[in-house]
Amino acid sequence: MTSTPSHSADLPGFPIQRESKCPYRPSKVHVDLREDGPMTRVRLYNGRVAWLVTGTAEARAVLSDYRRVSIRPYHGNYPLLNEEFEKVVDSGYADVLFGVDPPEHTKQRQMIMPRFSLRRTKEYHAEIQRIVDQKLDEMMSKGAPGDLVADFAQPVPSMVMSHVLGVPYEDNEEFETSAHKLFVPELADEATTELGDFLDRLIAKKENNPGAKPVGLIDDLIVDQLHKGTLTRSELVHIAMAMLVAGTDTTTNVISLGTLALLDNPDQWAALRDDHSLIPGAVEEILRYVSLVEAFARVATEDIELPGGAKIKAGDGILISCAGVNFDPKMAAEPDTFDIRRPPRPSFSFSHGIHRCPGDNLARLELEVAFRSLVQRMPDLRSTLPADQLPSNNNDGTLQRLFEFPVVW
């Protein structure tokens, strides 16, 4: 595979914009590209070329092959999706967890996983329910119309991650503002500095007042890692930054887009409202159908032969199409149909292999509580605008999101 711009003009461009009339539905182009096989070459914004993987078996193979496939974004052919990603990489945000390979990744993941185990996650249920009820109470007391993004989908994950990490929620406005700016190219440097300063001050405050509530993952890392010399202060700041941003932004967007998908398919909303046993399956179907992440990026460090004989050369950039794989018939029968009655089956929305999202248990719990509470307490919820009129980013290569979601109930 060549990576030079001069050979890329005739290739399909990537990222692929969402359906213009349906912000929660990825473009069928992901699926159409699979007609030529489970892998195809695509042209990135900077003219570079990368492999786009849309086949389930090939995706599993690439994402599992951590010895010959790297997640580090500093390789020259690493497939960055836009200038925004370049800013994020340059900020140092990618130097922990989501941008490092073993053994660094293994070490860092082991540090955080005790707070995200299935057993520990279940202990968060009561607090998540309290937060969800609080935000719905506030939303309903203000009266309709409301903005499901600003009033519910955004504050709930932020408050949950504050609880998990041990961040005082009264400080949320400060870090939320900076976190959102992190993904605006011209503001990325400023946002990184702001978030870093905020977290550094928080760590110092916790060091000076050990045991002071709220206590969370940051406190664990201070005692068990920072003070023992197994984690630097800079690493701790970046890990906390990564968890705050990843644990809030993604869940916010799944709540808003998932609710839109349900309301846009009234039979699905009615089914969920009338039968709460469908909640776990609905969450998995929303994650699959929305396919929030455009693609998981990797770069080959050695030659690889995949199932079926497809070959990737050392140095090739690789993109695993989340939508392409989630809409593969091998993943779900009649994949174009949005059906919450499907038996629950994990999709590729949390990735696969050693870099699978460490907070997937927590995210699923948040989503189950959020959707169950919405259909219970707002059974007649509806959007005041058609889906194609809701302001969204229409997937510019970052996470798909709704900027506003006006609703009545």
Residues paired with 402 in a beta bridge? 392
List the one residue out of 146, 109, 197, 121 whose CA is nearest residue 364. Answer: 121
* Structure tokens, 58: 């090939």
Residues paired with 383 in a beta bridge? 407
Phi, psi angles (nearest 5°) of residue 100: -130, 150
Name the packing angle between helices 188-208 and 172-181 (round to 10°): 150
* Structure tokens, 139: 């939303």
User: How far apart, in whole angstroms, are the C-alpha atoms of residue 379 and residue 345?
Assistant: 26
Averaged over successive runs of 10 residues, the pLDDT of the chain (409 residues) comes to: 51 84 87 87 92 94 96 89 70 77 94 93 96 97 96 92 87 74 68 87 94 93 96 92 86 96 97 97 96 92 90 96 91 93 89 94 97 98 95 74 95
Query: How, if at all, do strands 69-70 and 304-305 pair?
Result: unpaired
Radius of gyration over alpha carbons of the chain, in Å? 21
Residue ranges in 150-215 assigned as alpha helix (H): 155-165, 172-181, 188-208
pLDDT of residue 139: 98
User: How far apart, in whole angstroms, are the C-alpha atoms of residue 257 and residue 240?
Assistant: 26
pLDDT of residue 7: 56
Q: Which residue type occupies 158?
A: S
3-state SS string over 345-387?
Answer: CCCCCCCCHHHCCCCHHHHHHHHHHHHHHHHHHCCCCEECCCH
Element (DSSP H or E) covering residue 70: strand 69-70
Contacts of 103 (CB under 8 A, 6+ apart): none
- Report the predicted TM-score, pTM, of the whole model to 2 decimal places: 0.92
Query: How, if at all, do strands 39-43 and 49-53 pair?
Result: antiparallel
List the one residue out of 398, 381, 356 whose CA is nearest residue 113. Answer: 356
User: How far apart, in whole angstroms, are the C-alpha atoms of residue 40 and residue 204?
Assistant: 49
Q: Which residue type occupies 5?
A: P
User: How far apart, in whole angstroms, are the C-alpha atoms of residue 132 and residue 110?
Assistant: 29
> For the sheet containing 382-383, what is the strand order?
146-147, 406-408, 382-383
| Residue spans per domain, the chain | 5-408
User: How far apart, in whole angstroms, are the C-alpha atoms of residue 203 and residue 199?
Assistant: 6
pLDDT of residue 256: 97
Buried b (16+ CB within 10 A) or exposed e, 65-101: bbeebbbbbeeebbbbbeebbbbbbebebbbbbbbbb
Contact 182, 195 (CB under 8 A): yes
3-state SS, residue 222: helix
pLDDT of residue 17: 81
pLDDT of residue 355: 94
CATH topology of domain 5-408: Cytochrome p450 (1.10.630)
User: How far apart, in whole angstroms, are the C-alpha atoms of residue 162 and residue 243?
Assistant: 10
User: How far apart, in whole angstroms, are the C-alpha atoms of residue 70 and residue 206?
Assistant: 35
* Structure tokens, 303: 């030659």
Q: How many CB atoms are located within 10 Å of the residue 149 CB?
A: 24
Phi, psi angles (nearest 5°) of residue 367: -65, -40
Identify the residue whose tokens are 């919405």.
Answer: 374
Contact 405, 259 (CB under 8 A): yes
List the one residue out of 368, 397, 372 whose CA is nearest residue 42. Answer: 397
Contact 238, 226 (CB under 8 A): no
pLDDT of residue 93: 63
* Structure tokens, 227: 């003070």
